[in-house]
Amino acid sequence: MVTLRRRTLKVLTLLVLFIFLTSFLLSYSHTTATTAWLPKQLVLELSERFRKLVAFSRRPCTCARCVGEQGVSAWFDERFNRSMQPLLTAKNAFLDEDTYSWWLTLQREKQPHDLNDTFKELFHVVPGNVDPLLAKKSVGCRRCAVVGNSGNLRESWYGPHIDSHDFVLRMNKAPTMGFEADVGSKTTHHFVYPESFRELAENVSMVLVPFKTLDLEWVVSATTTGTISHTYVPVPSKIKVRKDQILIYHPAFIKYVLDSWLQGHGRYPSTGILSVIFSLHVCDEVDLYGFGADSRGNWHHYWENNPSAGAFRKTGVHDGDFESNVTTTLASIHKIRIFKGR
């Protein structure tokens, strides 16, 4: 806030100086028409440069392109809600009735535990504040790589380019060991749900995407008693992730992604598109890798040869084609870049 006030004061000071200088130069050019060293072109040039300075001072970041910049695309501005908070914290642990009813239908929980009690148990175990790494404290340039799991990463040699980003977001069971040349080795945040969990390196933050109340209960159990070992499939009863590196994706943000960005296509968003929209809210510059089909049109994971790996496109749970259209549109308006690999 202090930084913003200083910037505003600086802009206002420059504006006053500019008005004074412009008034003086225009007056002087009228009274000394025969003098060549102060032409009106100079005033116009100063005016244009000042306009660019003011425009730059209003930008939300110092990157060559800023994801959150308004007025670039009406399509983007209609969908992007800056006030939405992507992470669940002790301060915003609340779901309105419509969101809660919708969330319960995602995986058809019949007798869920009381959500408020679950929230209390959750934040007795994991921190209830926003990840300090993700909290934007000042204007800068936060470059983020969102790495999907597509087979188009094979032989892409994107590894060093991915690792050059400030933050690297990965998801589900994606491995890096043995694939470093193509997918990189750096991970800062890994998005999972209980059924897609994999053990993470010590310095990696886990972002749990909860699709049901049991997912939140699982986090408590997996870091304490280990009593939950099965949801609709077997899940790890204990995990090694440090409690202070566990973050929770806000259920209301999931609904926001479905309503605003996917326009209701699919039953609920995939982890991939949830990671992409999350990055729009916490990053200044976003690059996507490993999304979509490979060069042969196959949807599969880079670490396996599984012809049914892209079956979710046909189940009706996720609308993979519409999600792909969203990322393609974001790239077309220069909000993100997509690296398509092979």
Mean pLDDT confidence for 261-282: 96
CA nearest neighbour of 189 among 144, 251, 141, 225: 144
- Alpha carbons 110 and 114: distance in angstroms, whole number: 12
- Alpha carbons 52 and 50: distance in angstroms, whole number: 5
pLDDT of residue 43: 56
**Structural domain spans, the chain:** 2-57, 74-339
pLDDT of residue 192: 98
Q: Is the pLDDT of residue 9 over 60?
A: no
Mean pLDDT confidence for 56-75: 84
Q: Which residues are annotated as a binding site?
A: 107, 149, 172, 232, 268, 272, 292, 301, 318
* 246-248, strands of its sheet edge to edge: 246-248, 205-208, 189-192, 167-171, 143-147, 285-289, 336-339
CA nearest neighbour of 93 among 113, 135, 122: 122
pLDDT of residue 336: 98
b/e 225-256 (16+ beta carbons within 10 angstroms → b): eeebeebeeebbeebebeeebbbbbbbbbbbb
Q: Is the pLDDT of residue 22 over 70?
A: no
Q: How confident is the prediction for the chain on average, in pLDDT?
A: 84
Structure tokens at 68: 């959150």
- pLDDT confidence tier of residue 29, bands split at 50, 70 and 90: very low
319-329, pLDDT tens digit by residue? 888 999 999 99
Q: Which residues are annotated as a binding site for substrate?
A: 107, 149, 172, 232, 268, 272, 292, 301, 318
**CATH dotted code for 74-339:** 3.90.1480.20
Please give the share of the chain, as a percent, with pLDDT higher than 70. Answer: 78
44-62, pLDDT tens digit by residue? 565 555 444 444 445 789 9
pLDDT of residue 275: 98
What pTM does this model have? Answer: 0.81
211-266, pLDDT tens digit by residue? 999 999 999 999 999 999 999 999 999 999 999 999 999 999 999 999 999 999 99
- Alpha carbons 131 and 249: distance in angstroms, whole number: 12
The residue whose two tokens read 């809600």 is 81
Q: Is the pLDDT of residue 16 over 80?
A: no
Q: Which residue has the higher pLDDT, 138 or 157?
A: 157
Question: At 132, is the secondary structure helix, strand, or coil?
Answer: coil
Structure tokens at 294: 């490979």
- pLDDT confidence tier of residue 28, bands split at 50, 70 and 90: very low
- Alpha carbons 99 and 255: distance in angstroms, whole number: 7
pLDDT of residue 23: 47
- Alpha carbons 268 and 243: distance in angstroms, whole number: 28
Q: Is the pLDDT of residue 310 over 70?
A: no
Structure tokens at 19: 């008005």
pLDDT of residue 297: 77
- Alpha carbons 337 and 257: distance in angstroms, whole number: 19
Q: Is the pLDDT of residue 289 over 80?
A: yes
Question: How many other CB atoms are found less than 10 A from the CB of residue 278?
Answer: 25
- Contact predicate 197/236, CB 8 Å: yes
Mean pLDDT confidence for 156-167: 97
- Alpha carbons 68 and 82: distance in angstroms, whole number: 8
List, by residue number, the catalytic residues. Answer: 268, 318
